[in-house]
Structure 1
Amino acid sequence: MSVSPSPALLTTEPAPSTARPTKASAAPGGGTGTGRTARASHHLGFWFAAVAFMVLMAFGTAPTPLWPLYAARDGFGTTTMTIAFTGLVAGAAVSFLTLGHLSDRFGRRRVIVPALLVGLAAAVVLIAWPTLPGLLTGRVLNGVGVGLMASTATTYLHDLHREAHPDQRFSALPATVATAANLGGLALGPLVAGIMAQWAPAPLVTTQVAFAAAMAVCLVLVLSSPETVDRELQEQQRPSRFALLPGARRAFAAAAAMGFFSFALLGFVSSLGATMIHDRLHIDSHLVTGLTPFLMFTSAAVAQLAAARLGLPRTLRIGAVVFPIGLTLTALSLYHPALWLLLIAVSVAGAGAGLLFKSGVTIGATVAVPASRAGVLSVYFVIGYIGMGVPSILFTIATRYIELGSAVIVLATVLAIGAAVSVSLATLPRRGVRP
């Protein structure tokens, strides 16, 4: 599950070598290129890429309200449920680390197409292999697709908009659309799956069929979109996978830590939210289970969009305040069980996490060498996705020895302190790097 990397692209302009029309691509704003295959305009391709981004991210979070159904079908408990959830994390981390930089060299569309194909393969596995091994395999494949998509789609949106509107050098539209596609998809996935689990027949199959159909449509749309990377030029330049500007290591480390701690909250609610609602609130509604992460991710998206004009320092300060407040409310909602309090808590915490993640990606993209931006963002996402998985596993283990409410307090304290330290390091003056 990737939260929006897009705001980073407001602060820096990619090097020309990372976004040049290929010989067969359309001219800026044009309808077809000079190659054999007709391409959509860069303007249409921009929206095609946004839809594909949103659908694949939604597919990643769709199982959130379905975990109790999977557990009942395959007969596993909370620990196995958490491990199944982290299959996505493992697949995404490996994909980000080993494949996420490839679009800097081979092209954005040439990486997004395989991302959608892997997503389709994941859906087919989940349909055709209805056992725990099939579930684990499907989740890992889903993660690989997410890892290919997230940093690539973010950069692709910026490239396409620049080619379609060369006069709008620093437009906020790519950042806004990428935020909506990324976090909007993460929010819609649980809501759509929750609705299907509540009312559709055979929801474990119906949900996968619906998302497979949506990804197939997106594949057709992306195949008709223009490429924005000159492959021949990139073969000559061979950009580094991970290259930071001089003096930027501490800033990137602080940014990555913010990604880790903000994703830890998002992963915790996504993997264990259904269990908390069932055990503490005694609510069995799949719709309510899907509504909780929907509100969390929606709040994160809204907070990012609202902070688009605030600037990095103010966004950092607000996120550093809102995030621990949301964590405190989440812990309180377990000691005083009430659905309204839990929904408010995850909304506030999600907003804080969204602001911290936005700030982290802004810093990460600012300190990256432009020709390696996708590779640097991939490393950032690896750390974020590790945060999404590892703390949830440790929390599940901790609940074997301490009471659930106490475990939540410990988790909330660790995340709040970690976020505060990360923000403090990020706000220190950086030598040799413009903020």
Structure 2
Amino acid sequence: MSSAATRGGVPLPAVPTPLSRPSADAPGDPTHRIPAPAPADLPPRAPARRRASHTTGFWFVAVAFTVLMAFGTAPTPLWPLYEARDHFGATTVTVAYASMVVGAAAAFLGLGHLSDRLGRRRIIVPALLVGIVASVVLIVWRDLPGLIAGRILNGAGLRLMASTATTYLHDLHHEVRPERAGSVLPGIVATAANLGGLATGPLVAGAAAEWLPAPLITAQAIFTLAMAVCLALVLCTPETVDLELPAARPPDRFVLRPGGRRSFGAAGALGAFAFAILGLISSLGASVLHGTLHTDSHLVVGLAAFLMFGSAAAGQLVLGRLPLPRLLTVGAVVFPVGLVLCAVALYHPALWLYLVAVSLSGAGSGLLFKGGVERAGSAAEPASRAGVLAVFFVVAYLGMGLPSVLFSIALRHFAVQTAMIGFAAVLSCGAVVSVVVALRDRAPGPGELSAQSARPS
């Protein structure tokens, strides 16, 4: 038995016992040990890097998650400034915004599973580095190609973080509280960091644009500094993946249970319709507020996006534990109401009504999206659940980008009020139909599959 003890995973100094002491009086005694070499004879050891505790690391990762997600939506109140600087219109704004989806999709499909083999920290650190590089590109490359390149890098870093940080938070919490395997705390913190970060970014950038000089540079510099601090914090966070264990054979990426194809299709549609309104307000919200509601305040633009994403987070946190049918039903009611009010607020311009409308549509979007995640997970074979969810997120992010581009094209032929009515009608009907299909075509669970296979034909 080793004489070294451990406490909290950290080895304590070995306590010498009589069996381990060299005895000069009894050289022939079988308990005699050869003296250990002097410290000078040992090769010099590299100084060990100090690590934070798992509890502290948990909050370090939560902060890094929040900051990087905030960086993703920070341009929301800045798009009119980019339009004026680079001389482009609404369609180009939506293309530049949607270019983030390209980086996000590539990261989800190609890199989303690497943390199981390389370690959580080895994915979070590159995610922050990619975010810092994206911010630097946006600062120094002051042209439309630089804007698009920065957004693609932004999307890649964002998705590397989102696909790993949630699991990292669960791992760190489990290391501290292994007896609380079913604790909801990591999920609550992950939701708050994800959607809370998306909500905070426009508010910070809007405040910078309202009160600080050179906002396109200042806002990016603020997030660059914040991400650099988060990088230092994450480097001090302990790893939770045992890298010495042999890597398991990677599971099949996308395998659905029998009868789960239609259910997954409904789940993907829920994610796409839910994210469509988030993408529209994030990309064209500033133009709508300036052109239709005659609001020139960058802070108000940031506030609208803050309320939308914040309501999505609040909806998930408050109602997220409802049974799935009730969750989706509430979302299918709140989401269209918010969209209708958005159209009304544009026909009868009223800022307060617009803010209420985006809050309601955001809350409904959050509920529909959460229901879509649950439905997609239930349609997947257990061994490929991560791969199925990665495809689900890609579909959802396509919904965030493509409808915004189509809306901007519609603005060339229709007034914004008419375009919003059509947009609201399509999204509302699509969301309701998707909810009906998702609840009717429920993918069978493992127990049901076993029962079905046991029935005589």
Q: Which of 389, 409, 413 pairs up with 1:397?
A: 409
1:311 CA drift (Å) = 2.5
Match in the other structure for 1:264: 276
2:422 maps to 1:431: no
Larger Rg: 2
In structure 2, distance between residues paired with 1:156 and 1:408: 40
Q: Which of 248, 252, 276 pairs up with 1:240?
A: 252
1:315 CA drift (Å) = 1.0
Q: Deviations over 1:357-377 (max 9, x none)?
A: 111122333444555444333
1:242 CA drift (Å) = 3.2
1:93 CA drift (Å) = 1.6
Q: Deviations over 1:161-184 (max 9, x none)?
A: 222211112111011101100010
2:180 maps to 1:153: no
Aligned length: 409
Cα gap change, 1:288 to 1:155, in 2 (>3 Å): same
Say which SS state the counterpart of residue 223 (structure 2) adopts.
Answer: helix
In structure 1, distance between residues paired with 2:51 and 2:431: 45
Q: Deviations over 1:98-150 (max 9, x none)?
A: 21122233222211111111000001111111111111111111011012111
Cα gap change, 1:390 to 1:201, in 2 (>3 Å): same
Cα gap change, 1:158 to 1:253, in 2 (>3 Å): farther
In structure 2, distance between residues paired with 1:128 and 1:95: 24
Q: Which of 345, 348, 354 pairs up with 1:336?
A: 348
CA root-mean-square deviation: 2.2
In structure 2, distance between residues paired with 1:109 and 1:345: 39
Out of 28-37 and 321-330, give the one that drifted further.
28-37
1:32 CA drift (Å) = 8.4
Q: Which of 50, 59, 68 pairs up with 2:62?
A: 50
**Identical residues among aligned pairs (%):** 63
Say which SS state the counterpart of residue 181 (structure 1) adopts.
Answer: helix
Say which SS state the counterpart of residue 60 (structure 1) adopts.
Answer: helix
Match in the other structure for 1:95: 107
Query: Which structure is richer in relative contact order (CA contacts within 8 A, separation 6 or more)?
Result: 1
In structure 2, distance between residues paired with 1:315 and 1:188: 25
Match in the other structure for 1:294: 306
2:88 maps to 1:76: yes
In structure 2, distance between residues paired with 1:329 and 1:284: 21
Q: Deviations over 1:293-346 (max 9, x none)?
A: 111011111111101332322111111111111111111111111101100000
In structure 1, distance between residues paired with 2:97 and 2:236: 33
Contact in 2 for aligned 1:31/1:40 (Cα 8 Å):
no
2:125 maps to 1:117: no
In structure 2, distance between residues paired with 1:254 and 1:225: 39
Structure 2, gaps ≥5 residues long: 1-5, 14-46, 449-457
1:49 CA drift (Å) = 1.2
2:323 maps to 1:311: yes
1:409 CA drift (Å) = 1.1
Partner AA of 2:61 in structure 1: A
1:36 CA drift (Å) = 4.8
Cα gap change, 1:201 to 1:240, in 2 (>3 Å): same
Cα gap change, 1:309 to 1:28, in 2 (>3 Å): farther
Match in the other structure for 1:126: 138
Say which SS state the counterpart of residue 213 (structure 2) adopts.
Answer: coil
Contact in 2 for aligned 1:198/1:287 (Cα 8 Å):
yes
TM-score normalised per structure 1: 0.89
Write the mapping of 1:360-379 to structure 2, written as runs, cut at 5 A: 360-370=372-382, 372-379=384-391
Match in the other structure for 1:252: 264
1:77 CA drift (Å) = 1.1
In structure 1, distance between residues paired with 2:95 and 2:310: 25
Match in the other structure for 2:434: 422
Q: Deviations over 1:253-272 (max 9, x none)?
A: 22221111100010001001
Q: Which of 174, 193, 198 pairs up with 1:181?
A: 193
Match in the other structure for 1:138: 150
In structure 1, distance between residues paired with 2:328 and 2:122: 35
Match in the other structure for 2:35: none
In structure 2, distance between residues paired with 1:141 and 1:70: 18
Contact in 2 for aligned 1:28/1:163 (Cα 8 Å):
no
In structure 1, distance between residues paired with 2:378 and 2:58: 23
Say which SS state the counterpart of residue 427 (structure 1) adopts.
Answer: helix
Cα gap change, 1:72 to 1:316, in 2 (>3 Å): same
2:414 maps to 1:411: no
In structure 1, distance between residues paired with 2:366 and 2:192: 12
Contact in 2 for aligned 1:333/1:341 (Cα 8 Å):
yes
Structure 1, gaps ≥5 residues long: 1-26
Say which SS state the counterpart of residue 274 (structure 1) adopts.
Answer: helix
